[in-house]
Chains A and B, each alone.
Chain A
Amino acid sequence: MHSRKNQRDLTRTEKKRLVDAILELKRSGRYDDFVTLHRQYYVTDGESRPRPAHMTPSFFPWHRQYLLEFEKALQSVDPRVSVPYWDWTRDNTAKSSLWAEDFLGGNGRPGDRQVMTGPFAYRRGGWRIRAEVTDDHFLRRNFGRPSAPVTLPGAAEVDRALGDPVYDTAPWNSVSATGFRNRIEGWGIRGGRGIANHNKVHRWIGGSMAGAASPDDPVFWLHHAFIDLLWTRWQKAHPRARYLPARALPADDPQRDRIFPLDRPMPPWDVAPSQLMDHTRLYRYV
């Protein structure tokens, strides 16, 4: 049992331990395996393959297990470390201590979006990303996307999602217009709403976080720890609500084999959503 803290409450020592553990995973090559895994399981709902991670009811449990695996890897380097969460409704500017020199470093520079400050700046020597999206090996950020400005989601946007009493709805993908899951995952609905919450945060950071190799930016883990916490908050707000779908869909439903109902094991860990409903035996949020 360990605790996950709000990143704004970390001491200087805690930040340094976390950064050092991340850099060590990078050095050993294990970090890049996590980046690859996320990319591998990012299947869109335009495809007919199973999609455990995105545009799907198991968005929350899949990422919970993904974070647990990452946290386990961090703790194999330094057992005192855990993944903190970033409450982007509160620390919502580029001036947040999250982006300081002693933690994640700041925005990318104009032009190539290269992050020039902090421990993950390319020139510091410890953070060379694979050139999978662009030709460059440096971390990129583009806060607020000035070309078509986007702001971080506020508390009202999160509250709208938390207020939805139903976990997820048909057709169980990115076009589900109601349900807590897609309100947080945040896909835009044609003729309805624009992108929200989870997706909007990826867009606000921009650069690497906006693309197919988003875990290249270590803020990915802090963002998803907050997403994980929001799931817990939703469960507390709706104690009688359950993960949906609870059972396999009917044979004639095109989504039947593409999504993960409560007891269907998710790749690559063979862990079912039902095994991840309650995290309190593993970690708690403080």
Chain B
Amino acid sequence: MNPTSGPGEEPAGAPRPVRRAVLRAVFTAAVLAGTGGALAPVLLQGQGPGGPGQERDAVGPERFSELYKGREIRGTATTVVPAGAQAHAGTSIAAPAADVSVDGRTLHVMRRADGSYLSTVTHYESFPTLLETARAAVDELGTAQLSAVSPHTI
């Protein structure tokens, strides 16, 4: 039940555990890092090892803010990994809460089983990271602005 069972399970090369937080590469992060290149490992913030009632750990794997083709893109992913989740091939173990915006307007993102992302703007192609998803949306938008009233589809 304890999702942060210690450094013994860490893949080689993973960052060392730090105080009150255990860094651990989970399935999605491994996939993302393998293709995205520049992605930081997932940070699992344990709320106290083995604490009773601990079912979920909040994770912050990706955060960016940049000017891309004159558009301000921002993104934060908070990945929630159920305790004790096993990485099934083709099964997403992470329920993401991703906040992505273009010029301050929300870009709604969805996720594929391999952990990649698609958005309401690029619905038929996915990208390994939120940053690439946001950039692809800007490419497709041209000078258009995202809808202010876009229904949430996650």
Give Cα A131–Cα B149 distance, bound, in whole angstroms: 8
Docked-complex contact A55 and B150, CB < 8 angstroms: no
Give the A-B contact count at a CB cut-off of 8 A.
Answer: 124
Task: Tell me if B67 counts as interface (CB < 8 A to partner A).
Answer: no
Docked-complex contact B144 and A113, CB < 8 angstroms: yes
1/0 per residue, CB under 8 A from A, across B130-151: the answer is: 0000000001111111111111
- Distance (Å) between the CB of B135 and the closest chain A CB? 10
Docked-complex contact A195 and B124, CB < 8 angstroms: yes
Q: A171-B90, A171-B113, A175-B90 are in contact. Are A212 and B145 (CB under 8 A)?
A: no
Q: Most A CB atoms within 10 A — which of B139, B141, B142, B149?
A: B142
Docked-complex contact B113 and A175, CB < 8 angstroms: yes
Give Cα A203–Cα B88 distance, bound, in whole angstroms: 30
Task: Tell me if A125 counts as interface (CB < 8 A to partner B).
Answer: no
Task: Tell me if B29 counts as interface (CB < 8 A to partner A).
Answer: no
Task: Tell me if B120 counts as interface (CB < 8 A to partner A).
Answer: yes
Give Cα A188–Cα B91 distance, bound, in whole angstroms: 16
1/0 per residue, CB under 8 A from A, across B52-63: the answer is: 000000000000
Docked-complex contact A188 and B125, CB < 8 angstroms: yes
Docked-complex contact B121 and A210, CB < 8 angstroms: yes
Contacts of B145 in A (CB 8 A): 134-135
Docked-complex contact B113 and A142, CB < 8 angstroms: no
Docked-complex contact B121 and A113, CB < 8 angstroms: no
Q: A199-B124, A199-B125 are in contact. Are A131 and B147 (CB under 8 A)?
A: yes
- Distance (Å) between the CB of B32 and the closest chain A CB? 10
Q: A110-B142, A142-B140 are in contact. Are A190 and B123 (CB under 8 A)?
A: no
| Of A38-46, A91-99, A226-234, the one with at least 4 CB within 8 A of chain B | A38-46
Contacts of A173 in B (CB 8 A): 90, 113
Contacts of A212 in B (CB 8 A): 108, 120-121, 123, 153
Q: A55-B112, A148-B139, A254-B91 are in contact. Are A133 and B121 (CB under 8 A)?
A: yes
Docked-complex contact B114 and A111, CB < 8 angstroms: no
Docked-complex contact B110 and A135, CB < 8 angstroms: no
Give Cα A211–Cα B147 distance, bound, in whole angstroms: 12
Docked-complex contact B113 and A134, CB < 8 angstroms: no
| Residue of A with least CB distance to B105 | A135
**Which of B96, B116, B120 is within 8 Å of A211, CB to CB?**
B120
Given A44-B113, A45-B112, 15 other A-B residues pairs in contact with their CB atoms under 8 A: A45-B90, A47-B111, A112-B143, A131-B147, A132-B151, A142-B140, A145-B140, A170-B90, A171-B113, A190-B116, A203-B124, A210-B122, A210-B123, A210-B124, A210-B140
Pairs of residues from A and B, 4 with the lowest C-beta to C-beta distance, nearest first: A46-B111, A171-B90, A202-B124, A212-B120
Can you report 10 A-B residue pairs in the complex whose CB atoms are below 8 A from each other? Answer: A42-B123, A46-B111, A113-B142, A133-B147, A170-B90, A175-B89, A203-B124, A210-B124, A212-B120, A254-B88
